[in-house]
Structure 1
Amino acid sequence: MILVTGGTGLVGAHLLYHLVKNDEKVRAIYRSEEKIEAVKKVFSLYSDDVTLVSKIEWFKADITEVPAMIPAFVDVDKVYHCAAFISFNPRDYRQMRKVNIHGTAIIVNLAIDAKVSKICFVGSIASVGNSLNRSLITEENEWNPEEDNSGYSITKFGAEMEIWRASQEGVDVVIVNPGVILGSGFFTAGSGKLFSQVYNGFKYYTEGVTGFVGVKDVVEVMIQLMNSSIKNERFILVSENKSFKEILCSIAQYFGKKQPTKNIKPWQTGIFWRFSWFLSLITRKEPLLSKYSARSAHSVSKYSSEKVEKSLSFQFEKIEVVIKRVCNNFTRFQSF
């Protein structure tokens, strides 16, 4: 039995399809029936077989609650831990610690007790150290706790430490650190907003650079790593390093929309995130932009996936191909 946490998120939903397609016996954690409907939509992008989702054993639980999670590990041999709380709002820091660190600690403890053979953890490039000389960032770059790290970065690094603890307790582990994941099915949150915003005529761009990767590649690498003899290693998953301007313009091209034309400078986002923060104090609503999301929009960080490419003889899809497919699927989603 394979257990998947975060099965109703972007990575989890696409992972579930590929596992079921391979006739794996799968149990997936979920929190609401509404989220299962989102998974069904993702499945529909791959296949017309409406019975595939029913092959999943759905298990309702909160990963931060031990009593609820204990039964989820019955007869489980492998775990894909995809669940995470993603936010750059400082107000969410405690909740991120609860889900990302405490939740992962619970997964690790139960996996050890259940004598699980292997765990695949979906980390992030946010928990990989920066380069000091603008060279490509690799798995060897150490995360620096002394830097002004975002709460998300801190909690994802903390989660990785829990996963490494599992490796010291007899459970084999592999960690993937994807860049910005582009994929279909979740267009109102995360990277999906890039597509919905451009579709609706978004005019702005920044020239920050980071690593991007397609969700299909992320899932394929995860499955290959879990089915291999590779253990106790981490891998950066990035297809290409692109500027946000390049990504937004490419999305606009495939939508047949006008490309963003207004370059937002660092000083402008600096003013805006401070104004958003002040406004959120009054309204108690989520700020439109945080200090850390503003900073990431302008930072230049380039990543290398050479390690995983050599270890698995894996070739990533070009981001242009990924964007074209996601734009086509976005159009299909409008008819659902």
Structure 2
Amino acid sequence: MAPSDPVVLVTGATGFVGAVLTKQLVDAGTDVRIFRRDDSSLARLGTYAERVDHAVGDLRQARSLYEAMRGIDRVYHVAAKVSFARGDRAAVRRVNADGTAHVVNAALEAGVDRLVHTSSIAALGRPPEPDGLIDETTEWQGLPHRSAYARSKRRAELEVHRGIAEGLDAPLVNPSLVFGVGEPGTNTRRIVDAVRSGWLLAVPPGGTNVVDVRDVAAGLRAAMHRGETGRRYFLGGENRSWKTLATVLAEEFGVRPPRYTVPPSLLNVGGALAEGVAAITRTQPVLARTTARTAARTYRYDNSRARTELGCTFRPFEETARHIADALSDEVPNA
């Protein structure tokens, strides 16, 4: 490694997107340091955990970030807490919003050359017309039904812009619903396992945009090299209905696809009941009310900016589903 080569810090490197990004960076010959908690599982990184430098700390502890960024040239801020449980609202805010503020402050203090911030589809606005396309310029509305997670990611973006005003060089990316192999009980793996179990009989009536985790990681790297400071880039592949997504997954796993669509009213009731059970059992709700409300609607997104300005390409969902099915072919699906 030449002395002039940049040293990169990845927050959230042990997570779903961060692990794939870290592997891509290492494969490209990049000198990587990961920032992780002392109790973080290294399972997603596998042997790559031995090929990176480790900085142990917590986003909520500013001092650990200052230490982690010593000698760092570039930062990929990927770490976040994804939860829609009512009891996690404060934790979501502390990690996503306050944690990003700590990352920005540490990056400014360390004088890093550039930071790429990973936001979310949840931080984008909603179109005034039901059939309107959503892109990076769609205005945010702080409506009551927006989830605590969405609000935390919006606040995190404002922290990044505050850092930019203080001299930070930072583009932002907004991934859509990310699909990949993942681990049981986490992220979209819960959807995958529900479908491949063969017991999923009904799906929500709405739709959203989906993207392959490998394409998100590639988009982050493209934003680092070609993204404009302060500019958002929506990283999303295809706009699909929930029924189509479930059908494609079912076909790849060789199981019967869901036959019914859940009415929005029943979906909302199910979300309320699921949150009640989760509160009693102190677990993540299978379906939160904010998620139920969103899943009942169809949102369509435009990825033109990422394709034209960053040169991003996105796999069709059929290819993603096939990759997931191949990877999980030897595992027993959850009942």
Category of TM-score, reference length = shorter chain:
over 0.9
1:187 aligned counterpart, secondary structure: coil
* Stretch of structure 1 that moved more, 166-175 or 153-162: 166-175
Is the 2:222–2:312 Cα contact (8 Å) retained in structure 1? no
State the SS of the aligned residue for 2:155: helix
Aligned to 2:132, which of 135, 146, 149? Answer: 135
Q: What is the identity percentage for the equivalent residue pairs of Structure 1 and Structure 2?
A: 29
Deviation, 1:69, is: 2.1
Aligned equivalents of 1:11, 1:175: Cα separation in 2:
15
State which drifts further: 268-277 or 297-306: 268-277
- Determine the structure 1 residue equivalent to 2:297: 299
Whole-angstrom CA distance in 1 between matches of 2:283 and 2:322 = 34
Gaps of 5+ in 1: 41-49
Q: Does the residue aligned with 2:294 lie in a helix, a strand or coil?
A: helix
- The 5 A counterparts of 1:32-71 are 32=38, 35-40=41-46, 50=47, 52-71=48-67
1:314 to 1:282, Cα distance in 2 relative to 1, 3 A: closer
Take 1:220 and 1:88, find their aligned partners in 2: how far apart are those partners? Answer: 27
**Superposition deviation, residue 24 in structure 1:** 0.6
Matching residue's letter, 1:13: A
* 1:171 pairs with 2:168: yes
Q: CA deviation at 1:172?
A: 0.9
Q: 1:284, CA displacement in angstroms?
A: 4.3
In structure 2, distance between residues paired with 1:270 and 1:224: 39
Return the match for 1:191 from 182, 188, 191: 188
Match of 1:271 among 262, 269, 283: 269
> Partner amino acid for 1:307?
R
Q: For the residues of structure 2 that align with 1:288 and 1:216, how far apart are their CA atoms?
A: 26
Where does 1:146-225 land on structure 2 (aligned, <5 Å)? 146-201=143-198, 202-225=200-223
Aligned partners of 2:309 and 2:157: how far apart in 1? 21
Q: Please name the residue that 2:22 is paired with.
A: 16
| Distance change >3 Å, CA 34–CA 281, structure 1 → 2 | closer
Distance 1:203 1:106 in 2: 44
Look up the match of 2:256: 258
Measure how far apart 1:225 and its partner are: 1.6
**In 2, distance between residues paired with 1:309 and 1:120?**
17
1:79-99 deviation line (CA, Å, top 9, x unaligned):
101111111112111001100
> SS of 1:235's equivalent?
strand
Which amino acid is the alignment partner of residue 105 of structure 1?
A
1:32: Cα distance to partner? 4.5
Who is 1:97 aligned against?
A: 93
Aligned mates of 1:298, 1:146 — CA distance in 2: 17
Tell me which amino acid in the other structure corresponds to 1:137: I
Partners of 2:8 and 2:169 in 1: CA distance: 15
Mapped to 2, the partners of 1:331 and 1:6 lie a distance apart of: 27
Other-structure match for 1:45: none
> Structure 1 residues 32 and 38 mapped into 2: Cα distance closer, same or farther (>3 Å)?
farther
- CA deviations 1:194-237 (Å, max 9, x no partner) are 11111212222122111101111111111112122632210111
- Of 93, 116, 134 in structure 1, the residue corresponding to residue 112 of structure 2 is 116
Q: Structure 1 residues 248, 69: CA separation in 2 closer, same or farther (over 3 Å shift)?
A: same
Gapped regions of structure 2 (runs ≥ 5): 1-6
How many angstroms apart in 2 are the aligned matches of 1:322 and 1:330?
Answer: 12
Q: Which amino acid aligns with 2:218?
A: E
Q: Secondary structure at the match of 1:322?
A: helix
Shift of 1:280: 4.1
| 1:125 corresponds to which of 116, 121, 124 | 121
3-state DSSP class of the match of 1:313? coil
- Flag the 1:57–1:262 CA change in 2: closer, same or farther, 3 A: same
Shift of 1:297: 1.5
Q: CA shift at 1:174, angstroms?
A: 1.1
Other-structure match for 1:5: 11
1:237 alignment counterpart = 235
Higher helix proportion: 1
SS at match of 2:315: coil
Worse-superposed segment, 103-112 or 315-324: 315-324
User: How many aligned positions are there?
Assistant: 325
Q: CA RMSD in A?
A: 1.8
